[in-house]
Amino acid sequence: MTRRPGFPARLDLSPAAPAAKAAAKRGPTPPVAPQGLGMDSSAVRARMVRKLAQEGIADPAVLAAMGTVERHRFVDTALVNQAYEDTSLPIGLGQTISKPSVVARMIELLLGGRRDANGRLGRVLEVGTGCGYQAAVLACVANEVYSVERLRGLHDKARDNLRPLRLANVHLLFGDGMAGYPKGAPYAGIIAAAGGEAVPGTWIDQLAEGARIVAPMALADGRQSLVVLEKTNGRVKQTVLETVHFVPLKSGIA
């Protein structure tokens, strides 16, 4: 397994989670103790990873990343106990964090594209930072992660969530991801956490040869499906996969 040296250690040794700090300030341990989960979370995560493997996630790099990133640090304290269930959770401003099986599935599909000699992706673009969870998972499998969010409140929240993890390879950007992020192009992978009617042409333009876009997209029948677009010799091949339920891809910032 190739990992950036020190990356998992930094995650594990990072200062107490904000949730745990807040709980400490509140005084006596509440009946449902977020800091308790913080301490035992590796076992809970290992169980989640075993389930993901049983359900068909096979890429060891993806499973390792899912086992490393502490999802409970990215959700509200009231939801901490659901953090390792395979469920999407609200993250504020009407948006949701995808369920772990969908995050793992999409990153596995992304890794099916262009990788470097170490089996890692090079530069990756994520559209829809949300709470920053998926960006942290991507940081385990890609050399650089550019993540764009159109809602200021969530961009700020992701910054707060990611700060204690000190991931030098994650770059958070506030803006409209429909335009991609030309400065980081070409990308070894583009992943969207919000679904539109079509995949913007700008993303295809910013994609490297042999790389993939993994995104939810509305089909003619109104259902939303996961699609994979792969660029080979300048041509784009589209594969439509399973039905998914993502928040809408919107234009502009707010």
Question: Residue 113 or 180: which CB sits closer to ligand SAH?
Answer: 180
Backbone φ, ψ for residue 230 (5° rounding): -120, 135
State the angle between helix axes of 152-162 and 133-141 in degrees (0 to 180), rounded to the nearest 10: 50
Provide, rounded to whole angstroms, the least separation between the CB of residue 234 and ligand SAH: 26
Respond yes or no: is residue 98 known to be catalytic: yes
Question: Residue 131 or 165: which CB sits closer to ligand SAH?
Answer: 131
Cα(254)–Cα(246) distance, integer angstroms: 19
Q: Which of 111, 125, 127, 170 binds ligand SAH (CB under 6 A)?
A: 127
Peptide bond into 216 cis (omega under 30): no
Give the contact letters, 95-114, x = binds to ligand SAH (CB under 6 A), - = no: xxxx----------------
17 binds ligand SAH (CB under 6 A): no
Strands 224-232 and 207-218: antiparallel
Token pair belonging to 127: 């559209």
57 binds ligand SAH (CB under 6 A): no
Give the active site residue among 88, 98, 101, 251: 98
Residues 59-98 that bind ligand SAH (CB under 6 A): 91, 95-98
189 binds ligand SAH (CB under 6 A): no
Phi-psi region of 144 (alpha: psi -120 to 50; beta: other; left: phi over 0): beta
Cβ-based neighbour number of residue 99 at 10 Å: 16
Residues that are catalytic: 98
In the complex, the residues that contact ligand SAH under the rule CB under 6 A are 91, 95-98, 127-128, 130-131, 133-134, 148-151, 154, 176-178, 193-194, 247, 249-251
